[in-house]
A = this chain, B = another copy of it.
Amino acid sequence: MQNRTDTTRTIGEHGIPEPTLRRLPAYCQVLRRLAGRGLKQVSCTRIGRELGFDPTQVRKDLALAGAVGRPKVGYCTEELYRTLENFLGWNNVEEAVLVGVGHLGTALLGYTPFDRYGVRIVAAFDSDPEKLGPHAHGVQVFPQTRLPELLRRMKLRIGILTVPAEAAQSVCDLMTANGVIAIWNFAPIALSVPANVIVQNEDLFATLGVLSSKLAAALRTGS
């Protein structure tokens, strides 16, 4: 419902609602924190209190991810964490490619702890010769012409798309033609992809929009 593709059926559709999937990473982070504090058992109430979510909602989300708890006790913290991590596929890190070393791409390259979230960026590409060479964080930036070759050779399956919207579709096509089956798209545009490719759109400014519109409204009304 979020991504329009040119296909009738979408891949990767385990019947789990998207809002639930979006919350799972937050649960993981909370669990890691609580486990670090030595908490052996944890309840939905507790998790909900940490994040400001309804306990029932937490319970349902966890159930959908395959977690089972015990009445009165809750869940074993460690076990629950591993269940979620496994469900998200974050237990074995996938190598990924990033295309578009602009402001956003650079920021992402600089964000090293991605491998805690199932992804490691192993190569970057840009069409601007100025950007080429080794990046600050040990990732090499290659010319975009070499994208197909290296995608094939390294057998990368995840692509991170941080190019301008105008270039997004063509880069996307290059990716899917060379083995990429999951695309994290930061460009504000709908991508057309083959039926077996998963696209997830990200808009970094979505929440900033919410914040600033509320602030603007508050400033208009109040002081």
Measuring CB to CB, which residues of chain A are less than 8 angstroms from any residue of chain B? 2-4, 11-14, 16, 18, 21-26, 28-30, 33, 49-53, 87-90, 94, 103-104, 106-108, 110-113, 117-119, 157-158, 165-166, 181-182, 184, 188-190, 196, 198, 200-219, 222
Greatest chain B CB density within 10 A among A94, A205, A213 is at A213
Bound CA span A13–B211, Å: 11
- Kindly report how many copies of this chain are found in the complex they form together: 2
In the complex, chain B residues whose CB is within 8 Å of the CB of A202: 207-208
**When the two chains form their complex, are residues A206 and B23 in contact, meaning their CB atoms are under 8 A apart?**
yes
User: In the complex, are the beta carbons of B182 and A211 less than 8 A apart?
Assistant: yes
CB distance from A151 to the nearest CB of B (A): 16
Q: Give chain A's interface secondary structure class.
A: helix
Contacts of A112 in B (CB 8 A): 103
Min CB distance A137 to B, Å, is 10
Residue of B nearest to A184 (CB): B211
Select which of B157, B182, B204, B214 is within 8 A of A12 by beta carbon.
B214
**Separation of A106 and B136 alpha carbons in the complex (Å):** 13
Given contacts A11-B218, A200-B207, 11 further A-B contacts (CB under 8 A): A30-B188, A33-B188, A50-B188, A52-B190, A88-B209, A103-B111, A117-B205, A117-B208, A119-B212, A182-B215, A196-B222
Q: Which of B184, B189, B198 contacts A51 (CB 8 A)?
A: B189
* Bound form: Cα–Cα A89–B28 in Å: 34
Shortest beta-carbon distance, A210 to chain B, in Å?
4
Q: Are B118 and A208 in contact (CB under 8 A)?
A: yes
Can you pick out 19 interface pairs between chain A and chain B where the beta carbons lie within 8 Å of each other? Answer: A12-B215, A12-B217, A12-B218, A22-B203, A22-B206, A24-B213, A50-B190, A51-B190, A52-B201, A88-B216, A89-B215, A89-B219, A117-B209, A158-B215, A181-B218, A182-B215, A200-B211, A202-B207, A202-B208
Chain B nearest CB, measured from A2 CB (Å)? 7
CA of A172 to CA of B181 in the docked complex: distance in angstroms? Answer: 40
Bound complex: CA A210 to CA B210 (Å): 21
